[in-house]
Amino acid sequence: MSTDRWHVEVSHDCIGSGMCAGAAPEFFRLVDGYAEPVHTEIDPDEVVTDAADQCPAEAISVVDVASGKTLAPVD
Ligand code: SF4
């Protein structure tokens, strides 16, 4: 069983499109018009990496806690 944990961040590049909160409301919410993670550390879930890949501002980053590797967005 995986014990991986992911760290989720939203940067100041967020333009408040709301896409992430719409697609993954359990992981992102809008506060004063900008997104923030509901939890900064989560169990791996592809919904979150998909949201990071689809963010129009590339404002969401998902990092594997153990390795420090950036999982999304991918180039
Ligand atoms: S998808 Fe990106 S730009 Fe849109 S609200 Fe989420 S973090 Fe901000």
- Give the pLDDT band of residue 1 (cuts 50, 70, 90): low
Q: Could you tell me if residue 31 is inside a domain?
A: yes
Check pLDDT > 70 for residue 2: no
Taking alpha carbons only, the member of 66, 58, 51, 49 closest to residue 12 is: 58
pLDDT at residue 9 in the model: 98
pLDDT tens profile 11-47: 999 999 999 999 999 999 999 999 999 999 999 999 9
Q: Could you tell me if residue 47 is inside a domain?
A: yes
Whole-number Å distance, alpha carbon 13 to ligand 1 midpoint, is: 8
Domain span at residue 61 reads: 6-72
Q: Could you tell me if residue 1 is inside a domain?
A: no
pLDDT at residue 58 in the model: 98
| Number of domain units in the chain | 1
Answer whether 60 contacts ligand 1 (Cβ < 6 A). Answer: yes
The label of the residue with tokens 């993954």 reads 24
CATH number (domain holding residue 38): 3.30.70.20
Q: Could you tell me if residue 32 is inside a domain?
A: yes
- Give the pLDDT band of residue 70 (cuts 50, 70, 90): very high
Whole-number Å distance, alpha carbon 16 to ligand 1 midpoint, is: 5
| CA–centroid distance for 27 within its chain | 7
| CA–centroid distance for 73 within its chain | 9
Taking alpha carbons only, the member of 3, 52, 63, 4 closest to residue 24 is: 52
Alpha-carbon torsion 47, 53, 59, 61, what sign? Answer: positive
